[in-house]
Structure 1
């Protein structure tokens, strides 16, 4: 018999509701941004100095709650941050001022910027994707903009948003195993009403998306990772599943420190290199980066190499490759970690040698020492807030993130009575725009 105590009806245990550290890299690696909790930190790599963000619309902190998404535009002129405070902030990377703040009705879970930099899209926790017209925000602050509804997943948390390389489609993934490919319309403020395909095959939530494309295949193919411990390759035009790589079942990859990890480990993030030949994969609980070889002509993905990160306990929460340098930037860390001196922490590491397939074949990828990272210790001091942390903190952070992700993305099952109780006691107050 189920216990009907009111405490069971909560969405998650607030004591372990932590947010993972995030990282974003300027397309030309001119700057690097890290978000941990409500703190957004940016370092100017070219200028070799920390950046102070200016937001005339806020007093004190720039964000008032955990940031869940940060992203540079394709041109590098814009940086977008958004999260649990229901605010989407658009920053000019030339002045580092907030040029617009958009209010969301719900907490924001993912953001994307069109390739031409004309629109910002963001997804909320109820599965709605919104679009904002950036006309008039060219480095100049404007009044708060209103977002228009673009599309919707039916009451399912959207975990990732991506635009196709040609800009024709917007791809959205959710916790109910679905990947939706939608035609991005000429007038997006009027909504997107044409679905190109659904990519169906994951057996658990989809956690991340990325595109691979080459000169021979400029339209690109989609790669996805999820809670079912698989990376999948898709043709988005037809929705066809082209290949699947099972991380948990290959070559003892999850054997670490003399013990077996869970066979089904979550893919926490993935990204691709410039020439579309490699996919870097981060796995929950794995202190290594898995590099997959992608052959678009053969429509296949296969294991290329496993790169140990080494050093202190470092389990990446977000990855991003700089196309201009071939460096893989990684971050680990969380916010709201209770019981430690550092409730919010971040650690940045970098792997070299992923610019192209030729670079990968000629130069063995390896983790750079802290003083070899672009920006060196000055960058680390800004983005991390400290140079070093106790290893126990990172182990606790990894466990907290594992629990938090489970609470957020593994869908709970409720009895009819509990569902009715939740409906009566929910507190969803919409923000008037």
Structure 2
């Protein structure tokens, strides 16, 4: 499930469905992903992927102008809707996308699962996609600065890259310090905020690649058994886990800068407040969710979605109310998160065994 804001409405995705929700009135509108338009000269492998009925939406973006919604799907489609959910354009990309993002000119950036980022210009129908940059591993998130001069990408290999946009061959900096995959990056005022599988939220001077502060969100988790259970599970796959990974992080600039995070298997949303004077993150409160998995969206209110209801939480006044929730099924992201950990393979022992066998056969 993905959640974004579009004007005064929320845009949600579940499976192959796109839904707009007015939180005030509860009014909804929905559509589903259409079948792909298959271009000529496709290979047999491409046809097999595109003809699959798995049109599950993997990423969602809304334009700065409020005019468009873009989604990527598991069968390599990029679909563009207007703000009334009318289909505008649909096309096929070569590799499955991990992230879509609008530029300030309503062009679309597509990051694929091999680590490349392409720019698709819709102002020119005949223009070919432009390869902007590449990582050596899967890109998990990307964002543009409000001024549109910088693009930030983060990946499975703990790296955060800051590049000029659109001249992305000009790298500004690397923000290095996370010890696991980086799940989220967001610009807040004049700094960059990131979240990771190592359980930390870090604040960066992105122009210099310098860390300004960090907070370990696991210090605010009151259930030690969750980490113990995850560690035991991942130990079977030879993965050392030292913290509950951050699944999602969102920020909101209102009466102060708030940061909300969710952790794997934890039924609470952790809320922090970022000081723009010394860039420290102060823990504010933990907000209980009735079910897991759940998804949330942070504005002046906190919208918490689970499979039974939508809760609108006023975190400043510590009050909440239930609202009508569209019939969306929220899927568990456990498998996706755990597969991001790097596995360790010991092939030395196998080599020594083969060497021993060769030596014995020569006797």
TM range (shorter): 0.7 to 0.9
Give distance in 1, aligned partners of 2:122 and 2:152. Answer: 20
Deviations for 1:363-414, whole angstroms, at most 9, x for unmatched residues? 22x4422xxx3xxx2xx1x3426xxxxxxxx8xx65xx3233212x123345
Hey, what does 1:255 align to over in structure 2? 222
- Following superposition, the deviation at residue 150 of structure 1 comes to 1.1
Hey, what does 1:91 align to over in structure 2? 81
Hey, what does 1:111 align to over in structure 2? 100
Give distance in 2, aligned partners of 1:112 and 1:92. Answer: 15
- Following superposition, the deviation at residue 327 of structure 1 comes to 2.1
Give distance in 1, aligned partners of 2:184 and 2:305. Answer: 16
Equivalent of 2:109, from 109, 112, 121? 121
Give distance in 2, aligned partners of 1:117 and 1:101. Answer: 19
Give distance in 1, aligned partners of 2:262 and 2:181. Answer: 16
Give distance in 2, aligned partners of 1:113 and 1:199. Answer: 23
Deviations for 1:292-313, whole angstroms, at most 9, x for unmatched residues? 110111121121221222x3x2
Gap regions ≥5 residues in structure 1: 1-20, 137-142, 186-190, 214-219, 333-345, 355-359, 386-393, 418-433
Superposed counterparts of 1:10-159, under 5 Å: 21-26=1-6, 28-30=7-9, 32-44=10-22, 49-53=27-31, 58=36, 64-93=54-83, 95-114=84-103, 116-135=104-123, 146-154=128-136, 156-159=137-140
- Kept in 1, the 8 Å contact 2:18–2:32? The answer is no
- Following superposition, the deviation at residue 46 of structure 1 comes to 7.2
Query: How many matched pairs?
Result: 320
Equivalent of 1:168, from 149, 160, 170? 149
Structure 1 residue ranges, 4+ long, deviating more than 4 angstroms after superposition: 44-48, 54-59, 143-146, 413-417
Residue 368 (structure 1) aligned with residue 326 (structure 2)? no
Change in CA separation of 1:321 and 1:76 when aligned onto 2, cut-off 3 Å: farther
Give distance in 1, aligned partners of 2:75 and 2:127. Answer: 16
Residue 321 (structure 1) aligned with residue 321 (structure 2)? no
Change in CA separation of 1:284 and 1:192 when aligned onto 2, cut-off 3 Å: same
- Following superposition, the deviation at residue 34 of structure 1 comes to 2.1
Change in CA separation of 1:47 and 1:53 when aligned onto 2, cut-off 3 Å: farther
Residue 245 (structure 1) aligned with residue 230 (structure 2)? no
Give distance in 1, aligned partners of 2:303 and 2:91. Answer: 29
- Kept in 1, the 8 Å contact 2:16–2:57? The answer is yes
- Following superposition, the deviation at residue 321 of structure 1 comes to 2.4
SS in 2 for 1:296: coil
Give distance in 2, aligned partners of 1:109 and 1:63. Answer: 19
Superposed counterparts of 1:254-333, under 5 Å: 254-256=221-223, 260-262=225-227, 264-275=243-254, 277-309=257-289, 311=290, 313-316=291-294, 318-322=295-299, 326-332=300-306
- Kept in 1, the 8 Å contact 2:108–2:119? The answer is yes
Gap regions ≥5 residues in structure 2: 38-50, 228-241, 349-363
Hey, what does 1:390 align to over in structure 2? none
Equivalent of 2:194, from 220, 224, 232? 224
Deviations for 1:254-308, whole angstroms, at most 9, x for unmatched residues? 224xx63216111111111133511111111111111111011112112122122
Equivalent of 2:314, from 329, 341, 353? 353
Give distance in 2, aligned partners of 1:174 and 1:347. Answer: 33
The structure with higher relative contact order (CA 8 Å, sep 6+) is: 1
TM-score by length of 2: 0.79
Hey, what does 2:203 align to over in structure 1? 233
- Kept in 2, the 8 Å contact 1:108–1:125? The answer is yes
- Kept in 2, the 8 Å contact 1:281–1:289? The answer is yes
SS in 1 for 2:147: coil
Give distance in 2, aligned partners of 1:50 and 1:127. Answer: 35
TM-score by length of 1: 0.67
- Following superposition, the deviation at residue 119 of structure 1 comes to 1.6
- Following superposition, the deviation at residue 330 of structure 1 comes to 3.4
- Kept in 2, the 8 Å contact 1:177–1:206? The answer is yes
